[in-house]
Amino acid sequence: MMEEKFDAALQDVGLREKKKEMITALSGGEKQKLALACILAMKPPMIILDEPTANLDPVATEAFVSLLETLKEERHLSLFIIEHDLDPWVSMTDRVLMLGRDGRIFYDGPLREGLQEHAGNLKHQGVAMPMVSELALQAGVAEPPFPLTIDELRRRNPVLEGKQRVRKDEIPLLRAENVSWKSVLKDVNVTISNGSFTAVVGPNGSGKTTLCRLLAGIISPSAGKVEHPFGKKEQFRHVGYVFQNPEHQFLTDSVWEEVSYSGANRKQVQQMLEWCGLSKHVHMHPFRLSQGQKRRLSVATMLVNDQDVLFLDEPTFGQDAASTEHLMNLIEEKHRSGTTIVMITHDMELVDTYATRAIAMKEGEVAFTGVPEELWEEDVEAFHLKRPLRAQIEEAAYVPQ
Ligand SMILES: Nc1ncnc2c1ncn2[C@@H]1O[C@H](COP(=O)(O)OP(=O)(O)OP(=O)(O)O)[C@@H](O)[C@H]1O
Ligand SMILES: [Mg+2]
């Protein structure tokens, strides 16, 4: 009986085949799904979820949200969701509480009215609008009713700006040749060009983190080779790496030490902490920070250095709108100053905005490499991706009436 309950919960989150797996061998997203399964198995009348989809790929996110929607309808489950990314939740939300920077509730009511009423002030308060509403504002579609879904926005015929991407000479910097790792990666060939901004995308458990660890030299291939121009001993001075789990990054007992660890001077450390909104916490133990602060600190420890290549494993998860934009600006600045960036992300809006190249993984293989525009033309569902909103809306515009 118990076993059946567990199996059903694992099935619900899509982890049925991993039942016998060691937890340490699960990918970041798989661990998160497991945590959700544990709660679902208890069949509570109410669930409080604190950023439940932060590490899930876009298709897993959608599946998870619609699972909750079904449970809400069928079992009259009450849900209390703490979230930065509203888009997936729009249709099922009855009520929204908006908290400002001072921790006070400045709005309590239906979502649409809340967004309408506070549109101008939200970013300042650290509250992210749904991407659709954000895009609506950019396209000048502001009169009520405020669009919340793609269909609603489409009906208002928005005029969206296209993307312009500068193509640079592609000089290879890192190269994986016929690389395999345990049974996880199979015969991978991939090149990272000097000065590029590469997004690595794909389903949970497809091998993104493993590929980046191999390229960065943190683990060694079981077969094949990884080539890079840095000497073996020198490698770690040239290559920076932000781990998926921020706590894996921390080596010291205070925020200040963490950022100054690699030898940055006082002024640099001070400035970086200010940029990352951590100046008030310099003496705090890194483990006592909030999840979002931990994430920013772990990125800051790497941004303060001057590496040739910087790997970032989901650097923006758990960040509010303003922080995400801020972090991305800092990363983009690094990129512009010549650092080669390799960023794992489930956020296709970021891929569309910042990446010059995209690598899509699927079941331990590299299934796509190219510029983001080409990726949006692929069968993205097969990679558990969603096209960015801009592409979704443009695509709909071509449908003959
Ligand atoms: N040490 C290990 N030994 C065996 N298998 C592992 C090990 N670490 C990870 N795996 C497996 O390798 C696969 C790929 O893991 P990886 O962490 O690279 O995925 P990912 O694409 O980064 O996923 P996510 O989006 O969830 O972070 C997963 O199925 C995982 O269970
Ligand atoms: Mg990962």
Per residue of the chain (401 residues), what is the pLDDT tens digit? Answer: 678 888 888 888 888 888 888 888 888 888 888 888 898 888 889 999 998 888 888 888 888 888 888 888 887 889 999 998 888 898 889 999 999 888 899 999 999 999 888 888 887 888 888 888 888 888 888 777 888 888 888 888 877 776 666 556 678 999 999 999 999 999 999 999 999 999 999 999 999 999 999 999 999 999 999 998 887 778 888 999 999 999 999 999 999 999 999 888 999 999 999 988 999 999 999 999 998 999 999 999 999 988 899 999 999 988 888 889 889 999 999 998 889 999 999 999 999 999 999 999 999 999 999 999 999 999 999 999 999 988 888 776 555 44
Task: Please work out, in degrees rounded to the nearest 5, the angle formed at the alpha carbon of residue 281 by the alpha carbons of 280 and 284.
Answer: 155
Query: Residue 35: which residues within 8 A CB-CB, separation 6 or more?
Result: none
Residue listed under structure tokens 């309808």: 73
Q: Per the CATH hierarchy, to which homologous superfamily does domain 172-397 belong?
A: P-loop containing nucleotide triphosphate hydrolases (3.40.50.300)
Of 212, 203, 393, 178, nearest to 309 by C-alpha is: 212
C-beta of residue 18 within 8 angstroms of C-beta of residue 6? no
CA distances in angstroms from 333 to 24, 220, 336, listed in the order given: 35, 30, 5
Tell the residue nearest (CA) to atom 17 of ligand 1. 27
* Cβ–Cβ under 8 Å, residues 108 and 97: yes
Q: Which residue has the least CA distance to atom 3 on ligand 1?
A: 25
As a whole number of Å, the CA-based R_g of the chain is 22
The rounded Å distance from CA 208 to ligand 2 centre is 6
Tokens standing for 374?
A: 């080409």
**The pLDDT value given to residue 401:** 45
Q: Which ligand does the CA of 57 lie closest to?
A: 1
Whether the Cβ atoms of residue 256 and residue 286 lie closer than 8 Å to each other:
no
- Residue 305: C-alpha distances to residues 48, 274, 309 (Å): 39, 16, 11
The single residue listed with the structure tokens 């190219």 is 370
- As to burial, measured by CB atoms within 10 angstroms (0-12 exposed, 13-18 middle, 19+ buried), residue 310 is buried
**What is the reported pLDDT for 137?**
82
Query: Which pLDDT value is given to residue 229?
Result: 87
- Cβ-based neighbour number of residue 74 at 10 Å: 8
CA 185 to ligand 1 centroid distance, Å: 9
Report d(CA 96, CA 108) in Å as an integer. Answer: 6
Tell me the one-letter amino acid at 7: D
Q: Largest alpha-carbon pair distance within the chain? A: 62
Provide the angle, in degrees to the nearest 10, between the axes of the packed helices 28-41 and 2-13: 140
SS3 category, 172: strand
Spatial CA neighbour of 376 closest among 394, 401, 398: 394
Give me the residue label for tokens 């989150």: 13
Q: Which residues line ligand 1 (CB under 6 A)?
A: 25-30, 55, 57, 182, 184, 202, 204-210, 244
Cis peptide before 145 (omega within 30 of 0): yes
356 and 165 in contact (C-beta within 8 Å)? yes
- Determine contact, residues 273/255, Cβ cutoff 8 Å: yes
> Alpha helix (H) ranges present in 307-371?
321-336, 348-354
Taking the C-alpha atoms of residue 207 and residue 184, their distance in angstroms, rounded to an integer, is 7
DSSP per position, 276-300: TT-GGGTTS-GGGS-HHHHHHHHHH
Q: Do domains 2-83 and 172-397 have the same CATH topology?
A: yes
User: In this predicted structure, what is the pLDDT of residue 3?
Assistant: 85
Ligand 1: residue of 27, 181, 222 to mutate (most ligand atoms within 8 A of CB) is 27
Could you tell me which residues come within 8 angstroms of residue 119 by beta carbon, excluding any fewer than 6 positions away?
A: 129, 133, 137, 142, 146
CA gap 140, 128 in Å, rounded: 18
Reduced to 3 states, what is the DSSP secondary structure of residue 82? strand
CA of 177 to the centre of ligand 2 (A): 21
The number of residues making up the chain comes to 401
CB-CB contact of 185 with 364 (8 Å): yes
Ligand 1 centre to CA of 26 (Å) is 6
C-alpha 291 – ligand 1 centre gap (Å): 22
Token pair of 390, please?
A: 């801009």
Q: Whose CA is nearest to atom 5 of ligand 1?
A: 25
Sign of the torsion formed by the C-alpha atoms of 259, 262, 263 and 268: negative
Would you kindly state where each structural domain of the chain is located, as residue ranges?
2-83, 172-397
**CA gap 114, 106 in Å, rounded:** 10
Judged by DSSP in three states, 13 sits in helix
In one-letter notation, the amino acid at residue 62 is E
CATH class of 2-83: alpha beta
32-36, Cβ contacts within 8 angstroms, sequence gap of 24 or more: 32/56, 33/60, 33/64, 33/204, 36/64
Measure the CA–CA gap between 75 and 45, rounded to whole angstroms: 8
